[in-house]
Chain A
Amino acid sequence: MSSEQGERPIDNSIGDPRPELGDARGEAKRRELDRLVDELLDGELPREKSRAMFERLCDDPRGSRELASTQRAVDALKAPVVGPDFVGSVTDELERKRGFVSEAGRRRVWAARVAAAAAVALVAGAGFMAQRSWPGLGGAGEEAPMSRLASNVSSEALAAVETAGDQVAAAPERLVDRALVGLQRVELVASAGLESEGGRVAGVAGPVVLGGRGTLGGESGVALSMRLKEAEASAGRVSGARIGTSEYGTALTLSGGSGLSRTVVVGRSFVPADVLAAKCAEPGARVVVRFDREGRRVVEVLDRGVAATEAPRAMAMAMDGLSAAEFGGWRELAPTLGLDLRFDFPDGFGPNGFGLDGGGTGGVTIPTSGGFGSGVGEDSSSRPAPIGFDWLERQRGGDRNRFER
């Protein structure tokens, strides 16, 4: 700013049209001008308002003076500040504390990393070729390694399966992360759409939407085990993931360190109720009925061993559409069926609303009484079937023996 401006007389008593106290109209004008000036200094004054602001300033010498003072302060703040050169002092200190790596050193590190990556790729490639040449190698058993499955599916499904496998194999220690892996990546596999057709796996068009009652009911034959949290919380670190074919479709089996496993069936074969019953009756099987944070029912069957289970799908279908009161009936029915039935509720979803007297995380656990059992017929015949259980009841009523092991 020039010295001329600097010599401007600063005399607040001259030409001051500021409103007297009580001059409401003047005060309002004043406030409006202040607001416009603030907008100007904030860089937010619209072009169409700037003219009005300057016209008001012309009628308000004191306002003009204030704006000039403010502008001087702001300009002074923007004046360049010349500081010391910190390069030498900082790099010296870094050199002392950590040291730098020369260009040649960085190249050596880079070369070493490339070599290591190449070696890993070579080993993996050799393993893959060996597996293709001698399928029995490595004791794959009934379940095919993921790579073999992947070679037969669409690129989309391939990517999804590989991603899922990587994620599960590298599942972090923390339970919450493992649960996340289970939820997200398994859904990814399902969304990619795998289909079993005569033992051959092919991609299918259209995503499969998980969760929610309607989805489960509408996607005939698509069995999905959606929650890994409880299994993995018990199992400790997930130790592996394998994909194989099962009687009812393609199955992704995630196994944990302590023997618990979870199989996700992604085939399109319908799972009959007697299979459900058989699976539920296996020793150690446990059915978990719980409600997720959105209040949706989630039905799971946890089993031990690596055998595929399609129970989640069938059980979910059985439970789908039940009212809250019907869950109470289900709970009563469970011991008769020999199920280890457990109800978990997230925060805010207490048992009262569902007619259950257990509740909270952990819920009610009913120990397995050993099998789907011979006692089913007698107990259930004297017990009115809960509304909504007609699907399951039809299966039971049609052939009771089918429930026996």
Chain B
Amino acid sequence: MKTEHDVSREMQNAFVDGELDRSDWGRIAEQLGRDESLRAEVCEIRTVKDLVRGAYAAPPQAPRLSVAGGRRWTAIAALCLVSAGAGWLLHTAFAPGVSETEAALAEGASLREVSNERVVLHVSSSRRATLQTALDDVEEVLRAAAQRGRRIEIEIVANSSGLELLRAEISPFPARIASLRAQYSNLTLVACNQTIDRLREKGVTVLLLPGVQIAPTALDQIVKRLQSGWAYVRA
């Protein structure tokens, strides 16, 4: 539509979205009072904005989400409530930087320095290098703990494309995983059932490696572990 005034479309949108400074806003507001075509155009923009809002006011929920989603989130919320003092507020106040504990762990030459540690390792990528590094780390930590006679538990939770790690005939490291399992009873492997379902919906037959357990969702499992005091590691 050809405009009869000098208020660009960008300015009209900015007016509707409250993005103008006082003087520009005043100028357009004043012009709106006497320019019918400008008024009509601004009104249309508002209408479009309202339509978009209305169209997504109540988006359809994923089948599982409506039931389990709330519970899952409540679990995360409960988990976060278990506040352990040091972290957030402190390092926000003294930003930049992370808390000493976190920094020590993040540099994390290893988990070996953490006593009585239980770790959930979340794998959500099928990148070979990522999986390789994850398994290297797991093996190193398990071996070091065994040498020192220190009890440690590691659980690998795989979802999304990371599930490939635990799939028979797909996993790039089946023999290595089998040998780790045979050697360390304190290593558990968990597959996300939601990912399995999604693959099945696409007609993919999902076979898991021997000994792999199944959790309803990766998030459920991770939250469950965090609630019991496990540390969370992302591969």
Do A and B assemble together? Answer: no
Q: Chain B: residues with CB nearer than 8 A to chain A? A: none
Q: Which residues of A contact B (CB under 8 A)?
A: none
